[in-house]
Amino acid sequence: MEHVVHLADSEQGEIAKQTSLARRLNVIDRWGKTMTVVTAVIGLGLATAYLYQAWESPNPGPNNFYRLNTPAK
């Protein structure tokens, strides 16, 4: 990977390569930002659902199959 920006007219091939690389990097960066936002929204949704469930049932106890299907004494 070169760390030089080519600007001379004699370097048209290199300029095209660098332009193409810059566009690909911008696309990758846009995808990264989009995935960050999507992950944050999903995380907030999960946290909201968890907190709502905790609010509705503040002391749920162990919810297992045996306890739910045992006749009351």
For residue 71, what pLDDT is reported? 67
At 57 the pLDDT is: 77
Write down the pLDDT at residue 43: 98
Give the model's pLDDT for residue 59: 66
Q: What's the pLDDT at 55?
A: 83
pLDDT averaged over 10-residue windows placed end to end, the chain, 73 residues: 69 85 95 98 96 78 61 64
**For residues 43 and 51, is the Cβ–Cβ distance under 8 A?**
no
